[in-house]
Structure 1
Amino acid sequence: MNLDVKNSPFDQEQTEQLNRLLLTMDDRQKIWLSGYLAAFQNSPSLAVKNHQGEEKAVSARQVTLLYGSHTGNCQALAEEYGAKLKEKGMVANVLDMDEYKPKNLKSEQDLLILTSTHGDGDPPDNALSFYEFLFSKRAPKLDGMKYSVLALGDSSYEFFCQTGKEIDERLNELGAERIHPRVDCDLDYEEDAESWWKGVLHTLGDTHEHVSPTVEKVTSVTDRPIYSKKNPFQAEVLENINLSGRGSNKETRHLELDLEGANLAYEPGDSLGIYPKNEDTLVDELIEEMGWDPDLSVIVNKDGEVRALREALTSHYEITALTIPLLEKLATLTDHEEFKQLVASREKMNAYIYGRDLLDVVRDYGPWKAGAEAFVSSLRKIPARLYSIASSLKANPDEVHLTIGTVRYDSNGRKRTGVCSGQCAERTEVGDQLSVFVQKNNNFKLPDDPSIPIIMIGAGTGVAPYRSFLEEREESERQGRSWLFFGEQHFVTDFLYQVEWQRWLKEGVLTKMDVAFSRDTSEKVYVQHRLLENQKEFYQWLASGAYVYVCGDEKYMAKDVHNTILEIIKEEGKYTEEEAEEYLKELRKAKRYQRDVY
């Protein structure tokens, strides 16, 4: 369903936004929206009767929610909170930071910022422009504006929630007033985010009069459960194949999961979340080291849910990764002086954390004076692992495919395995079930028009979403040109999905492919080198409207590719350094330069 610009009252920008939204909505959401708009009468002001029966106009409170999101968590929260504000009769404008015009900041009354932090304390891609404006000399004084910040992050990184912290402080410096303190959330963010929301909502409700429109409650036409991150689906494993050839330095698994009955929809570019389980051997060694009773009942959440200790350590708590907040909590559970000295130094903690897990800590710094209940209450919930979906739902109804690189390494005298990748490689057979949910990612999407050319750049498992892209385009009647740059170590053992790429090349679904196998020659060759070799044609594609996608390792591959693209734009477009950066920035804002990096 698309709106016709000629016959609608919306301008071009509004029409494009509505079309993007409509494409993501199911029938239930469309019904709810039509009922809501009818009740609200397209107006921020409602007529209500006072106690004397006289009508008066009540101006609804206007709240702007801006989100900076990499994996989609902040976007999902912003949309959820925006809907709740509207139910209370307020006007909620929910916007991607890239879509927001920063000059409007000075006219905002209430601003809610929800942002993640990416890489080494950097803003997510779709928050860069807003962030740069906020910290520039052009940022206006914001006296009179009220705001609050919800920051999402991962406490295993040194710059935990850095973007949220910096934006919070900057808004305050510019004169804005906090209506609720910033909350910094770890990977298990749900409870902390809900606490922040309740505090914000309480303040918003107390400071402004508002009226709730009557919105008819829409009930589902089906009794099927709704599966989500909070209620994952148990997906049966249909296939579990090792894609790596004999002699490879890597092990890359191809998983096919059955989604029949899940009613889960996904698009190319989305991710699948898996809730993993810790390895039984590691759990048993931890329990034995601490002398705990594996059948002891422990509380695993704020609702008072109880599980046996062994099950809790297997399925509920993270024990394979250390964080600074965890070490600080554990320091209160021991009298070990050396451990307390370690925790007193952030530099020493960062050095210790690398390559170690909870079993290392309890062995290095025992004995511990706390019981099992106090100890496990210090642990964070085991976070879901997100993997780029490697299939198209149109091409594979009721299925989802994943490409997972198995993490294995030796550290501090022990062999280590990634908790989820290890489970998929070593402890998951065909017929087993995995707890899964779909994670939307609107920052990594194919063009709405399938005739638009696309350039896909990826290394290793970063090629996964491009398989979904081409499966999707294969189902389309209009197929634009497509160009894949793929990098790995060895042609013979690591050419992931080689047969499929070659078939798509033959059939014309894939127009062009350049590969870089870094260990097959004396001089290492990476995807950025292939870009340079094809820089004239690359720029021609760019100038003709092509979308560019980058997926893979952020610290090395994505950074090198980014710099290479800048260099190509500079040389082929005859731009200065600043002009090339502005060119690429505009591509990103137009969604023509999209990255899914980790």
Structure 2
Amino acid sequence: MQLQVINSPFNQEQAELLNRLLPTLTESQKFWLSGYLAASHSTSISGTMEAPATEFPAGSAGQTSSKEVTILYGSQTGNAQGLANNASKTLEGRGFQVTVSSMSDFKPNNLKKVQNLLIVVSTHGEGDPPDNALSFHEFLHGRRAPKLDDLRFSVLSLGDSSYEFFCETGKQFDKRIEELGGERIVPRVDCDLDFDEPAAEWIESVLNNLSEVQAVGSAVAPASVAATARETVYSRTNPFHAEVLENLNLNGRGSNKETRHLEISLEGSGLTYQPGDALGIYPQNDPELVNELILALNSNPDETVTINKQGDIRSLREAFTSHYEITILTKPFLEKIAQLTSIDELHELIGGGNEEKLKEYIEGRDLLDVIKDFGPFDVSSQEFVDLLRKMPARLYSIASSLDANPDEVHVTIGAVRYTTHGRDRNGVCSILCSERLEPGDTLPIYIQHNQNFKLPENPNTPIIMVGPGTGIAPFRSFMQEREEIGTKGKSWLFFGDQHFVTDFLYQTEWQKWLKDGVLTKMDVAFSRDTDEKVYVQHRMLEHSKELFEWLEQGASLYVCGDEKNMAHDVQNTLIDIIEKEGNMNREKAEAYVANMQQQKRYQRDVY
């Protein structure tokens, strides 16, 4: 957009000068300038603050900085990618020249040319690298990995401490790069689900160690102003309280399952999304469980506690309800609890060296179990809540297209109920949505953008979708999007669940898309309708020749759903099909799949 006298407050000379300047600015320069102007405006109002200085790190004033940093991320859901991009903006604001890349897009042979390397990587499944980190991880741990004596590096590792192999991928990268000769800029930081503060501290430490020149007040002051301005933008740390429009059970009467379809209003939020993105929901804990927990602690529910570093105060009941995770145990938490008691059984569980026994105790138990088994504890309510993890958001694949449903987002949530260790247990968010959430209520939400699960850039590219159960959600968004833009590309769905009559999620929509030609083919597998259980991978095998033909024609394949069993079985079946129909040995078939991943033609949204 060109500035003109008629559409701006500038005179002709000013408009011409700005029109020549603005196209030459980088994004980081524009970001800095916006903060500078905001700070200047604040100064003119208060009359007390000096205008920011215009110093830059040596060699960067008005020029590209000589300090180059490469940031590589491995991300399955988008968290690591988002943090990598934020780190890039912060570094560029301090005068660094930054290159950001997913590990799958980075050419490993270029590693020798890198002097400053930052790794931001999540751990997936049972200690595995995310899909877009697999090839780089394999390269670094292989024989071709180069000596990296001239490399300075640091690792930010994301994980979930409720898993046995917490932050394992980040630990492996950190150890391997050191073995290859790399020198750490700052020690590795391992982040749990509540990663915002430790990630911010990590990048600040990296900055302080990368540059000896810290006289950059000009960049620091505007950044704080800009950060204040960004607080009005809804995000993971500032969720939008969205109204629930619809809450429907998708399963028929008599089903063993309950699957909720939620339609949520985005009106007034400014939030946007694309098919393949996820919706983050901050749930509330079950009020009955909260009451039992407070009773077991012999605490006053109205007693106040501080819930964060900012000093926000809530009642103990509200803290347990909305701010802390109370249904999942982790080894770090039990280690902290052990310091509060002399009970031998707990100390033996933690320090006895029997990891299997500890894992068995953690599985299926919650905070209330620990208090009943080892409590009460001689600590204040404040000391106790300080031991807990913050309530993490639950991520759900978005089941709608924004173009087809303006100002709305839809999600598909399976209710989780089970019994273990003598008590009934419930999924925190799924049972909130199933039993306590009504149309008109609000949910704190944000959009989790996921560039690792996206429709092909060419809308006419054939797509194959494998999504049993709630894994069907993103493919509903894919079809809505393709219908909206009039895509001519072929599409093939593999869907599975327990029973055709009660569990065929969104059945009428799929049948309509088939009839209208939006969906080209659909194969279904209902495992409990036959004597022998049939799953989606069996349907894939039945059509192995045609499926391979689609792949050879350039089709992209998408898998969404359970990672531990289904996704693993589907991948092995895919390799079997390629090996058979392509007349390849196993090694070449696996390389075929790896090449599809590299080309972003094989994408997974698994959990």
TM over 0.5: yes
Q: Which amino acid aligns with 1:227?
A: Y
Is the contact between residue 39 and residue 215 of structure 1 (CA under 8 Å) also seen in structure 2? no
Residue 7 of structure 1 corresponds to which residue in structure 2? none
Q: 2:484 aligns with which of 447, 455, 475?
A: 475
* Deviations 1:8-48, CA, capped at 9 Å, x for gaps: xxxxxxxxxxxxxxxxxxxxxxx9996326969xxxxxxx9
The question of 1:502 aligning with 2:522 is answered no
The question of 1:410 aligning with 2:419 is answered yes
Question: Using the alignment, how far apart are the partners of 2:467 and 2:319 within structure 1?
Answer: 37
Distance 1:39 1:160, change over 3 A: closer
TM-score by length of structure 2 reads: 0.88
The question of 1:294 aligning with 2:301 is answered yes
Offset of residue 212 of structure 1? 8.2
Question: What is the 5 A alignment of 1:38-437?
Answer: 59-206=65-212, 225-345=232-352, 346-437=355-446
Q: Secondary structure at the match of 1:596?
A: strand
Question: Using the alignment, how far apart are the partners of 1:557 and 1:323 within structure 2?
Answer: 26
Question: Using the alignment, how far apart are the partners of 1:378 and 1:548 within structure 2?
Answer: 43
Q: Which amino acid aligns with 1:389?
A: I
Question: Using the alignment, how far apart are the partners of 1:32 and 1:198 within structure 2?
Answer: 29
Question: What is the 5 A alignment of 1:406-555?
Answer: 406-555=415-564
The question of 1:35 aligning with 2:42 is answered no
Offset of residue 83 of structure 1? 1.1
Question: Using the alignment, how far apart are the partners of 1:404 and 1:76 within structure 2?
Answer: 25
Question: Using the alignment, how far apart are the partners of 2:408 and 2:75 within structure 1?
Answer: 27
* Deviations 1:242-266, CA, capped at 9 Å, x for gaps: 0011111110000000110010000
Distance 1:57 1:240, change over 3 A: closer
The question of 1:572 aligning with 2:577 is answered no
Is the contact between residue 296 and residue 376 of structure 2 (CA under 8 Å) also seen in structure 1? no
TM-score by length of structure 1 reads: 0.89
Offset of residue 506 of structure 1? 0.2
Q: Which amino acid aligns with 1:561?
A: V
Q: Secondary structure at the match of 2:247?
A: strand
Question: Using the alignment, how far apart are the partners of 1:162 and 1:591 within structure 2?
Answer: 25
* Deviations 1:214-252, CA, capped at 9 Å, x for gaps: 9999989x9993110111001101000000111111100
Q: Where does structure 1 lack aligned partners over 5 or more consecutive residues? A: 2-30, 41-47
Offset of residue 59 of structure 1? 4.7
Offset of residue 304 of structure 1? 1.7
Offset of residue 211 of structure 1? 12
Is the contact between residue 493 and residue 521 of structure 2 (CA under 8 Å) also seen in structure 1? yes
Is the contact between residue 49 and residue 56 of structure 1 (CA under 8 Å) also seen in structure 2? no
Question: Using the alignment, how far apart are the partners of 1:237 and 1:38 within structure 2?
Answer: 38
Offset of residue 335 of structure 1? 1.9
Residue 8 of structure 2 corresponds to which residue in structure 1? none
Is the contact between residue 117 and residue 162 of structure 1 (CA under 8 Å) also seen in structure 2? yes
Question: Using the alignment, how far apart are the partners of 1:152 and 1:270 within structure 2?
Answer: 19
Q: Which amino acid aligns with 1:337?
A: D
Question: Using the alignment, how far apart are the partners of 2:112 and 2:230 within structure 1?
Answer: 47
Question: Using the alignment, how far apart are the partners of 1:488 and 1:512 within structure 2?
Answer: 18
Question: Using the alignment, how far apart are the partners of 1:33 and 1:307 within structure 2?
Answer: 48
Question: Using the alignment, how far apart are the partners of 2:22 and 2:232 within structure 1?
Answer: 18
* Deviations 1:176-213, CA, capped at 9 Å, x for gaps: 00010000000011111111111111101228999989
Q: Secondary structure at the match of 1:206?
A: coil
Is the contact between residue 65 and residue 95 of structure 2 (CA under 8 Å) also seen in structure 1? no
* Deviations 1:314-350, CA, capped at 9 Å, x for gaps: 1100001101011001111112121111111433221
Is the contact between residue 88 and residue 211 of structure 1 (CA under 8 Å) also seen in structure 2? no
Distance 1:214 1:281, change over 3 A: closer
CA RMSD of aligned residues (A): 2.5
User: Percent identical across equivalent pairs?
Assistant: 59
Offset of residue 126 of structure 1? 0.3
Question: Using the alignment, how far apart are the partners of 1:485 and 1:544 within structure 2?
Answer: 19
Q: Which amino acid aligns with 2:122?
A: S
Distance 1:213 1:35, change over 3 A: farther
Is the contact between residue 65 and residue 97 of structure 2 (CA under 8 Å) also seen in structure 1? no
Offset of residue 479 of structure 1? 2.4
Q: Secondary structure at the match of 2:26?
A: helix
Offset of residue 520 of structure 1? 0.4
Question: Using the alignment, how far apart are the partners of 2:193 and 2:253 within structure 1?
Answer: 36
Question: Using the alignment, how far apart are the partners of 2:483 and 2:266 within structure 1?
Answer: 21
Q: Secondary structure at the match of 1:128?
A: helix
Q: Which amino acid aligns with 1:89?
A: G
Q: Secondary structure at the match of 1:66?
A: strand
Offset of residue 148 of structure 1? 0.2
Residue 45 of structure 2 corresponds to which residue in structure 1? none
Is the contact between residue 484 and residue 513 of structure 1 (CA under 8 Å) also seen in structure 2? yes
Q: Where does structure 2 lack aligned partners over 5 or more consecutive residues? A: 2-20, 31-53
Offset of residue 447 of structure 1? 0.6
Question: Using the alignment, how far apart are the partners of 1:425 and 1:533 within structure 2?
Answer: 37
> Which one is further off, 428-437 or 302-311?
302-311
Q: Secondary structure at the match of 1:595?
A: strand
